[in-house]
């Protein structure tokens, strides 16, 4: 059983998947920082100095000056600004993965052309081996 497990783990696909998961985990915070620190501030400035991470919908009867204050008070809120940032994170990651796959597909070797192993007998139309000198079906000379 240990040998089977070792063989399973050492298969190329499993190792590739492990590397991809580790790279994805390392790539996530970079994209989050890109979105929160570089992309969202200019968008917020264009929309009237809005900080997307502080946008929320208050579901309680009391008014709160910020998302942090509402959460500290335990008020039910919908933090749609953080959700918008997460959606932008996802779109950036999906676009980068799409580009990586496109580039990787360019470097893949083309599948070798299928080599014919049979041909058609000109007399009877049956499929015969390419090296045949005489048709085994109609016995005609090829």
Condensed to tens digits (0 to 9), the pLDDT of residues 64-104 reads: 888 888 889 999 999 888 888 888 878 888 888 788 888 88
Q: What is the mean pLDDT of residues 29-33?
A: 84
Residue 58 to residues 54, 65, 80, 117, 135: CA-CA distances in angstroms? Answer: 12, 10, 11, 73, 85
Residue 123, pLDDT above cutoff 70: yes
Q: Is 15 helix (H, G, I), strand (E, B) or coil?
A: helix
Helix 2-10 / helix 12-33 crossing angle, nearest 10 deg: 50
Predicted structure pTM score: 0.54
Residue-level pLDDT at 12? 64
With tokens 């497990």, the residue in question is 5
Residue 51, pLDDT above cutoff 80: no
Residue-level pLDDT at 76? 92
């Amino acid at each position: 059983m240990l040998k089977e497990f070792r063989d399973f783990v050492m298969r190329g696909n499993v190792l590739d998947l492990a590397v991809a998961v580790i790279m994805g985990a390392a790539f996530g915070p970079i994209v989050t920082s890109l979105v929160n620190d570089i992309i969202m501030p200019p968008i917020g400035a264009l929309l009237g100095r809005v900080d997307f991470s502080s946008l929320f919908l208050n579901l309680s009867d009391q008014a709160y000056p910020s998302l942090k204050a509402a959460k500290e008070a335990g008020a039910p809120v919908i933090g749609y600004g953080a959700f918008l940032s997460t959606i932008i994170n996802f779109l950036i990651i999906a676009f980068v993965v799409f580009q990586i796959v496109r580039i990787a597909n360019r470097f893949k070797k083309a599948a070798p052309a299928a080599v014919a192993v049979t041909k058609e007998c000109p007399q009877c139309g049956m499929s015969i081996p390419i090296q045949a000198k005489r048709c085994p079906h109609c016995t005609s000379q090829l």
